[in-house]
């Protein structure tokens, strides 16, 4: 139920209570139009992330005008004011319809008139004849601009040019300089591409013009000759260094030359297959004269050396020395410098002749004019984009408000439409968790989310069909937590119904219910005792095993040892100690029973209840405080939200967030059910009868048979003693007193 209330004498807002918190209830188009008047302190959310939500991210990006990845209050207000100003019947926004009737666009203002005109243009471009427009119509910009040459984006395509030469020129620019995608989906060029293309044409033409004959020492073969020299340069340089070492000392000759033994190692092989090994030998046998002989070149290098000699003539020479080789290399210096200064290489594939022809035609101005004509339609085209924004907000805005201002989707009892932060459902340990939230950083999230007071399961999810992975945190609010631990597997179903393998990675432990907290001390005690028993059994098993192994090892040495005689004094002492201990225990129990016996039958139950309350009371009290403070806010804050108002999860509401498996009560036969031994049945009956008998005797005061001085017997003895004293005083016969 919601109630109206004035907000400082301004707009009259409706209020409702959700999650134990009073919230603004946006329930009309006028409420949306006046969101700017709502005090920011009263908003449930101050900001939410654009990514990671079960909400159309396109719509969120349209609202996020500053592009910081967060939807803030001022952006919600701006969107609300714009949307309500261009829609006639503002209440239609609450329906969340994806189809907008054109007659609902408010043409009384400039923005509405442009939107109406652009909507008609979109329908015309799509060749649709109808009086309404949908999200599907406005979302496909490629289809909208498919047959338009000018669409206001500053990109021109072949469709933008009527002249065939201009079409070819646009193709050349796309092929050499780059392209941009036009709104129609085709590849086109911008003014920047055109400027870069003509600059490259001019640079390449000027660079080619700078190539004079003296730069090409070998004419058209200069590049081939340079390549041949570069292929041999390192090997020839190595040869001349070896020659210098021999000239320095002839004793170095065997070391720097290839040895016959090294050749002998591969002589038995197919030498054609050992070319790589042979190529590692010197290009020729080094000598102290430092001459590279043309007729004694290493066979692995001979073909490349012959290719160089075919391009570079060594007239009248049978060899070349280092100085002559360096002169040859120096001839390439101007050519190399010219190549390093190369510009405009992007248009080189066109060829120098076409480059010069394009420069001469100079169609640059015509292309720029086409770009300017396209940009002239920018406002109209942007208005078409605004129609896309209008249809998205008309469909999605109220849904966002329900998760931003009110949080009603989260607290909705039927959950027809989950909250936008709920990413799916986790099935685990016979339960289904409704509140599962995608997270980016599990470690950082758990540090803050632990303040929520809720039991949280952090799961790593993997899709077997797509191979994708993601991390989620699931909120567990009902059932037992005994089996919930890291390593437990479950299945996560996202909002689209796809299944993911989910493994629990981390657990944030908090109470789930008062019932669980009540039994928690006993469960901990049982686990502690079980652990002690298991540890004791393991220790004894290990000791027995060690004793057996030690006994087996020392058996031959102890075979002749005599058995020690029975020490009766020792065992008598043990029996006496045990008897004394049992006596002390019996006396203590007698004192306790004697005290309880003074109480009426219902007092006995009160004592038991008091003992249980003493044990479980602190645990229940702590759990009650934590359950009252359970809040989803820290979980969302850790995920990038800015929660302004609490998102409490009380005990009744918590039960709706986690559903537990419930089986019908059926009497079914289980062939594998373990049979109860006869001795255990007899023991159970004996204990039951003993308790009943003890209770009957206790409440009738007839426990004299066990020798305990219960109050009823003691009162009778005191009455008899008082009667004896009275008889002696009155000097009556003893028989009278006895009677």
- How many CB atoms within 10 Å of residue 399? 17
Phi, psi values for residue 30, rounded to 5°? -65, -35
Kindly give the pairing relationship between strand 45-49 and strand 70-72: antiparallel
CA atoms within 13 A on the CB side of 430: 9
For residue 106, the 8-state DSSP code is -
The widest CA-to-CA distance across the chain, in whole angstroms, is 172
| Token couple for 34 | 């006046």
CB 379 within 8 A of CB 51: no
| Token couple for 369 | 């004019």
Question: Whose CA is closest to 633, among 456, 459, 449?
Answer: 449
**pLDDT mean values, one per 10 residues, the chain (739 residues):** 57 85 89 93 93 93 94 96 95 94 94 91 88 91 72 85 89 94 86 94 93 90 93 93 92 89 87 90 92 91 91 84 92 93 93 93 92 83 86 95 90 78 93 92 80 89 92 90 89 93 91 68 68 75 79 60 52 56 57 56 62 68 69 88 86 85 76 75 80 63 50 49 55 45
CB 438 within 8 A of CB 667: no
pLDDT at position 573: 57
pLDDT at position 735: 46
pLDDT at position 711: 47
- How many CB atoms within 10 Å of residue 390? 25
What CA–CA distance (Å, rounded) separates 436 from 493?
A: 10
What CA–CA distance (Å, rounded) separates 114 from 107?
A: 8
CB 311 within 8 A of CB 228: yes
Q: Where are the domains of the chain?
A: 18-146+377-411, 158-210+347-375, 213-340, 681-730
Phi, psi values for residue 46, rounded to 5°? -100, -25
CB 699 within 8 A of CB 710: no
Question: Whose CA is closest to 74, among 36, 42, 44?
Answer: 36
> 431 pairs with which residues across the strands?
428, 660
Q: Would you call 479 helix, strand, or coil by DSSP? A: coil
- How many CB atoms within 10 Å of residue 676? 9
> Could you give the C-alpha distances from 111 to 82, 87, 106, 124, 383, in angstroms and in order?
9, 11, 8, 20, 9
**Angle at Cα 427 formed by Cα 423 and Cα 433, nearest 5°?**
55
Q: Would you call 700 helix, strand, or coil by DSSP? A: helix
Q: Would you call 667 helix, strand, or coil by DSSP? A: coil
Radius of gyration of the chain (CA): 49
Contacts of 264 (CB under 8 A, 6+ apart): none
pLDDT at position 538: 77
- How many CB atoms within 10 Å of residue 365? 8
pLDDT at position 713: 46
Phi, psi values for residue 462, rounded to 5°? -135, 130
Q: What would the DSSP string read from start to end of 188-201? A: EB-HHHHHHHHHHH
């Amino acid at each position: 139920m919601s109630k109206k209330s004035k907000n400082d004498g301004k707009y009259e807002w409706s209020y409702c209570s959700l999650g134990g918190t009073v919230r603004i209830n946006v329930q009309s188009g006028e409420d949306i139009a006046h969101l700017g008047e709502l005090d920011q302190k009263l908003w449930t959310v101050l900001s939410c992330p654009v990514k990671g939500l079960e909400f159309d991210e396109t719509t969120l990006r349209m609202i996020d005008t500053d592009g910081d990845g967060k939807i803030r209050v001022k952006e919600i207000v701006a969107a609300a004011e714009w949307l309500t100003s261009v829609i006639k019947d503002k209440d239609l926004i609450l329906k969340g319809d994806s189809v907008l009737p054109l007659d609902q666009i408010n043409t009384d203002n400039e923005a509405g008139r442009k939107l109406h005109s652009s909507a008609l243009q979109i329908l015309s471009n799509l060749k649709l004849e109808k009086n309404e427009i949908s999200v599907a119509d406005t979302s496909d910009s490629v289809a909208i601009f498919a047959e338009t040459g000018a669409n206001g984006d500053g990109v021109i395509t072949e469709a933008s040019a009527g002249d065939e030469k201009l079409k070819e020129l646009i193709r050349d620019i796309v092929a050499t300089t780059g392209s941009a995608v036009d709104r129609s989906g085709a590849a086109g060029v911008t003014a920047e591409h055109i400027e870069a293309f003509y600059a490259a044409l001019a640079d390449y033409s000027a660079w080619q013009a700078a190539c004079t004959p003296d730069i090409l020492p070998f004419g058209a073969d200069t590049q081939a000759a340079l390549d041949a020299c570069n292929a041999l340069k390192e090997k020839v340089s190595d040869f001349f260094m070896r020659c210098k070492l021999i000239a320095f000392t002839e004793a170095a000759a065997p070391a720097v030359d290839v040895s016959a033994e090294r050749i002998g190692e591969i002589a038995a092989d197919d030498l054609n297959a050992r070319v790589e090994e042979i190529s590692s030998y010197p290009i020729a046998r080094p000598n102290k004269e430092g001459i590279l002989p043309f007729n004694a070149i290493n066979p692995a290098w001979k073909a490349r050396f012959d290719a160089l000699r075919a391009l570079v003539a060594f007239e009248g020479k049978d060899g070349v020395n280092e100085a002559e080789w360096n002169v040859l290399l120096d001839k390439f210096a101007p050519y190399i410098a010219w190549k390093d200064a190369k510009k405009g290489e992007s248009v080189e594939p066109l060829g120098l002749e076409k480059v010069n022809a394009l420069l001469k035609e100079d169609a640059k101005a015509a292309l720029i004019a086409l770009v300017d004509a396209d940009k002239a339609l920018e406002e109209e085209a942007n208005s078409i984009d605004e129609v896309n924004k209008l249809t998205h907000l008309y469909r999605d805005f109220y849904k966002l408000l329900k998760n931003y201002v009110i949080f009603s989707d989260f607290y909705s009892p039927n959950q027809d439409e989950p909250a936008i932060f709920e990413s799916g459902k986790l099935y685990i340990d016979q339960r289904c968790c409704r509140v599962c939230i995608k997270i980016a950083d599990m470690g950082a999230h758990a540090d803050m989310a632990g303040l929520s007071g809720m039991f949280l399961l952090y799961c790593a999810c993997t899709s077997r069909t797509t191979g994708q992975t993601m991390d989620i945190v699931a909120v567990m609010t009902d059932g037992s937590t005994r089996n919930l631990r890291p390593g437990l597997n479950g299945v996560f179903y996202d909002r689209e119904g796809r299944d993911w393998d989910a493994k629990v990675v981390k657990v944030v432990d908090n109470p789930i219910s008062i019932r669980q907290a009540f039994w928690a001390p006993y469960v901990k005690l049982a686990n502690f005792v079980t652990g002690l028993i298991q540890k004791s059994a393991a220790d004894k098993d290990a000791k027995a095993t060690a004793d057996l192994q030690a006994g087996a090892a020392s058996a031959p040495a102890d075979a002749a040892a005599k058995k020690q005689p029975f020490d009766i004094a020792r065992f008598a002492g043990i029996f006496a100690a045990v008897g004394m201990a049992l006596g002390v225990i019996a006396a203590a129990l007698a004192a306790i029973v004697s005290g309880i016996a003074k109480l009426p039958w219902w007092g006995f139950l009160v004592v038991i209840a008091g003992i249980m309350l003493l044990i479980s009371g602190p645990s229940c009290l702590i759990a009650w405080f934590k359950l009252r403070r359970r809040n989803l806010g820290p979980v969302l804050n850790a995920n990038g939200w800015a929660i302004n108002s609490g998102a409490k999860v009380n005990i009744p509401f918590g039960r709706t967030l986690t559903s537990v498996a419930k089986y019908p009560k059926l009497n079914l036969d289980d062939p594998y059910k373990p049979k109860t031994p006869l001795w255990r049945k007899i023991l159970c009956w004996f204990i039951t009868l003993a308790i009943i008998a003890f209770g009957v005797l206790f409440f009738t005061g007839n426990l004299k048979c066990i020798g305990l001085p219960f109050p009823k017997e003691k009162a009778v003895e005191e009455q008899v003693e008082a009667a004896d004293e009275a008889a002696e005083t009155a000097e009556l016969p003893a028989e009278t007193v006895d009677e």
